[in-house]
Amino acid sequence: MTDSDSTFDTEVYYDDDADRAQIDDKTVAVLGYGSQGHAHAQNLDDSGVDVIVGLHEASSSRSAAENDGLRVETPAKAAAEADIVSVLVPDTVQPDVWEDIREGVEEGDTLQFAHGFNIHYNQIVPPAGVDVTMIAPKSPGHLVRRNYEAGEGTPGLLAVYQDETGGAREEALAYAHAIGCTRAGVVETTFREETETDLFGEQAVLCGGVTSLVKQGYETLVDAGYSREMAYFECLNEMKLIVDLMYEGGMGEMWDSVSDTAEYGGLSRGDEIVDEHARENMEEVLEAVQDGTFAREWIAENQAGRPSYTQLREAEKNHDIEDVGENLRALFAWGADEEAEAESDEEKTEVRADD
């Protein structure tokens, strides 16, 4: 049942809240067969939902989807036949895909996303008469699929941007049920909140803040004369141990699990590193997300052929920490498997780009 416990700031929905009749007699077009696309399509199919995978004729993913027993059509044809069009291609590709499919999205249909960027920043402007929703699993696609097959669920987000039929939320919940998200819990949000918090988290903490902190810690030790290997172990390798503890039980479990020396050192020195100045910088990053500055910059960067993006990626790949890390990871028992997994991830990335 819907979780009305005051410990949650918003509604959380579970299996009992979803009416599968809202989707069982409908056709879903899943556009893209990358990280999220393959998981949504396969889970929907296993749940008995009529699924069409929409891929361009030259897509390298067509054979994979067909080998998985799924029907594949062009995005335009899939969208024209479907009642629900789930747009799971990369953000940068979505506006062009929308131009391909828009004539086939009719009044009463649903346009669905797993991230709100293009709707929130008006890169896609949906027509009147069409419901616009979001079901966003909070996990990479391979885990969404793995959890479903194990009879478990992946938490997800639900948002309604446009409810023209009066049943957008109920239909989205049924979709979330069919891909397994309501087994774990689906949190209600908005397109604005999901987009802005997602971009901020990526930039200030998860992808930008953490990597910058790791590199600066590494450089501080190496510049002070310590070995690159010790700097890597202390500033990058052990990061996983700490993050795993926080992931499993919050910061409280992490503090309870580390030594008293580590706890006192962290509690007494952490705010000296990430201080009020860092907080001010974070607020500036958030403001650039909220007022659209970042979105305009990223859109212009793609239109220009990604010159800054390419330069930044190359600089990151050539950082000294990557060189020493490649050698050290080979010492671990899981090091032999890492290369194969990296190749698999690279293939998935190429699929996303192609789709």
Indicate the residue among 166, 189, 212 that finishes a domain: 189
159, 139 contact by CB (below 8 A): no
Residue 319 falls in the annotated catalytic set = no
Indicate the residue among 148, 169, 189 that finishes a domain: 189
Q: Are residues 220 and 112 in the same domain?
A: no
Q: Give the pLDDT score at 338.
A: 52
Binding residues: 33-36, 59, 61, 141, 198, 202, 234, 238, 259
| Residue 345 predicted with pLDDT over 90 | no
Q: Give the pLDDT score at 72.
A: 98
> Does residue 2 belong to any structural domain of this protein?
no
Please identify which of the residues 115, 120, 177, 277 carries the catalytic annotation.
Answer: 115
| Residue 350 predicted with pLDDT over 80 | no
> Does residue 177 belong to any structural domain of this protein?
yes
Q: How far apart are CA 169 and CA 188, in angstroms?
A: 10
User: Predicted confidence band at 352 (pLDDT cuts at 50, 70, 90)?
Assistant: very low
> Does residue 6 belong to any structural domain of this protein?
no
Q: Are residues 180 and 206 in the same domain?
A: no
Q: Give the pLDDT score at 10.
A: 85
Q: How far apart are CA 233 and CA 123, in angstroms?
A: 43
Indicate the residue among 132, 163, 189 that finishes a domain: 189
> Does residue 111 belong to any structural domain of this protein?
yes
- Residue 36 sits in a domain whose CATH number is 3.40.50.720
Q: Are residues 181 and 214 in the same domain?
A: no
| Residue 274 predicted with pLDDT over 80 | yes
> Does residue 3 belong to any structural domain of this protein?
no
- Pairwise pLDDT comparison (3 vs 123), residue with the higher score: 123
Q: Give the pLDDT score at 102.
A: 96
Q: CB neighbours of 331 closer than 8 A, spacing ≥ 6?
A: none
Q: Are residues 255 and 321 in the same domain?
A: yes
Q: Are residues 157 and 207 in the same domain?
A: no
Binding residues for NADP(+): 33-36, 59, 61, 141
Q: Are residues 327 and 205 in the same domain?
A: yes
Domain extent for 275? 200-354
| Residue 354 predicted with pLDDT over 50 | no
Q: Are residues 161 and 254 in the same domain?
A: no
| Residue 214 predicted with pLDDT over 60 | yes
Q: Are residues 100 and 65 in the same domain?
A: yes
> Does residue 327 belong to any structural domain of this protein?
yes
- The pTM (predicted TM-score) of the whole model is 0.89
Q: Are residues 68 and 211 in the same domain?
A: no
Condensed to tens digits (0 to 9), the pLDDT of residues 134-184 reads 999 999 999 999 999 999 999 999 999 999 999 999 999 999 999 999 999
Question: Number of folded domains in the chain?
Answer: 2
Q: How far apart are CA 21 and CA 42, in angstroms?
A: 19
* Cross-strand pairs, 158: 135, 188
Q: Give the pLDDT score at 337.
A: 55
Surface-to-core class of residue 120, CB atoms within 10 Å of its CB (0-12 exposed, 13-18 middle, 19+ buried): buried
Q: Are residues 144 and 259 in the same domain?
A: no
> Does residue 128 belong to any structural domain of this protein?
yes
136, 157 contact by CB (below 8 A): yes
* Cross-strand pairs, 27: 50
Binding residues for Mg(2+): 198, 202, 234, 238
Over range 12-16, report the average pLDDT: 96
What are the CA-CA distances from residue 130 to residues 21, 53, 104, 135 (Å)?
20, 20, 11, 16
Condensed to tens digits (0 to 9), the pLDDT of residues 77-105 reads 999 999 999 999 999 999 999 999 999 99
| Residue 4 predicted with pLDDT over 90 | no
Q: Are residues 276 and 163 in the same domain?
A: no
Q: Are residues 172 and 205 in the same domain?
A: no
Average pLDDT, the chain: 92
> Does residue 4 belong to any structural domain of this protein?
no
